[in-house]
Structure 1
Amino acid sequence: MRDDGSGGSGGGVDARLARRLVELRTEHGWSLEELARRSGVSRSTLSRAERQEISPTAATLNRLCAVYGRTLSVLLAEAESEPPQVVRADRQTVWRDDASGFTRRSVSPPAAGLRGEITQGTLLPGSDIAYDGPPVPGQEQHIWVLEGELEVTAEGVPHRLSAGDCLRFRLWGRSRFRCLGSAPARYAVVVVLP
């Protein structure tokens, strides 16, 4: 990528990189002025790069990566391709833990530039699964019971949920999922990273 002033095209990796730079700045809640202050890159250059008027130099990208806590390869990988808008049912990863009676379907898997994901869990009657903590402390979770009865314990507080009920919270510590009753419990989990 060169900052040759010739302007960027409307498609391809330059366009995706420009969008990713806008997304990162927005995720941090920074104005162009604030990003310029933090990175040492002029506001004008940042603005032109985000509008695809220029392709940023390696030095500019390196400064932005330092501010965003990424390597250049991670930033470029995030801009390399966009996640598919439609995740077909036959392409969703399904994982089973037969020992615990748990099945997990990745309905909307994590992807660069997206902060949320959706999984579907199914617990057989009597199944009980405990987690020591979330992979990312403070992550937001919404648990919507689709069928059956489920007990979810978050931060030491048990919640009994029936079909149609939704529990939402930010998870900092342990959690536990138990299937209640004689039928499987099927539920959706929406996770939003902080």
Structure 2
Amino acid sequence: MGRDDIVDVDARLAARLAELRAERGWTLGELAERSGISRSTLSRVERAEISPTASLLNRLCHVYGRTMSLLLSEVEGEPALLVRAAEQKVWTDTASGFVRRSVSPPHPGLRGELVEGRLTAGADLAYDRPPVPGLEQHVWVLDGTLDVTAQDVRHRLDAGDCLRWRVWGPTRFGCPGPGDVRYALAVVLP
């Protein structure tokens, strides 16, 4: 994905976030209160002056009742039944060392989706709330080691290990190293 593609996705994402707020009739101040994100940051995100981090997007998804995949799919075209590897959408949060590939894009009529996650060694990704309370997640480590904290319990997963749970509170994904980690994440709406 080239720099122009990233800028285009950021611009469409910014417009969709502004549209979601407008649909609800909320001011930036009201959204700031609901999300815990400052008005100035929200304004800069909606004007595509900054690219949102995974943590920030998670907070907004929680407020809007969407998974991150659903939100990202809303800035793309109609999802196809077959998605070739070269056509799968990739989103990068360079601040946290997180790369997210939508393997099976979400569809409004379906509850499940499959995501590939990659974290660089030492990366730590924290979500303070679920995007959708009760969301079912299955994490299957493909390469490397992944630390997952869910429901206040830390789990160390190595290649081949799988952890599943329903997300009700904060979660954390970390890559203790020494190498990067690659994992599959199955997400199922309640």
Q: Same fold (TM over 0.5)?
A: yes
Seq. identity, %: 64
Deviations 1:56-114 (A, max 9, x none): xxxxxxxxxxxxxxxxxxxxxxxxxx853211112211011112111010111110211
Matched residue, 2:188: 192
Please say if residues 79 and 105 of structure 2, whose CA atoms lie closer than 8 Å, have aligned partners that are also in contact: no
Please say if residues 102 and 116 of structure 2, whose CA atoms lie closer than 8 Å, have aligned partners that are also in contact: yes
| 1:97 and 2:86 aligned | no
| 1:106 and 2:102 aligned | yes
Letter in 2 for 1:85: L
Q: Distance in 1 between matches of 2:81 and 2:89?
A: 16
Deviations 1:25-47 (A, max 9, x none): xxxxxxxxxxxxxxxxxxxxxxx
Structure 1 runs, 4 residues or longer, greater than 6 Å off: none
> Over the residues paired in the alignment, what is the CA RMSD in angstroms?
1.5
Q: Distance in 2 between matches of 1:170 and 1:160?
A: 18
Matched residue, 1:169: 165
What TM-score do the two structures reach when normalised by structure 1? 0.56
Please say if residues 124 and 185 of structure 1, whose CA atoms lie closer than 8 Å, have aligned partners that are also in contact: yes
Please say if residues 83 and 112 of structure 1, whose CA atoms lie closer than 8 Å, have aligned partners that are also in contact: no
Matched residue, 2:84: 88
Matched residue, 2:142: 146
Shift of 1:164: 0.3
Shift of 1:181: 2.1
Aligned partner of residue 180 in structure 1, secondary structure: coil
What TM-score do the two structures reach when normalised by structure 2? 0.58
Aligned partner of residue 90 in structure 1, secondary structure: helix
Please say if residues 141 and 192 of structure 1, whose CA atoms lie closer than 8 Å, have aligned partners that are also in contact: yes
Letter in 2 for 1:169: W
Letter in 1 for 2:115: T
| 1:120 and 2:113 aligned | no
| 1:131 and 2:127 aligned | yes
| 1:181 and 2:184 aligned | no
Q: Distance in 2 between matches of 1:163 and 1:94?
A: 22
Q: Distance in 1 between matches of 2:112 and 2:145?
A: 25
Unaligned runs of 5+ in 1: 1-81
Q: Distance in 2 between matches of 1:111 and 1:85?
A: 10
Q: Return the index of the structure with the highest Cα Rg.
A: 1
Matched residue, 1:158: 154
Letter in 2 for 1:157: V
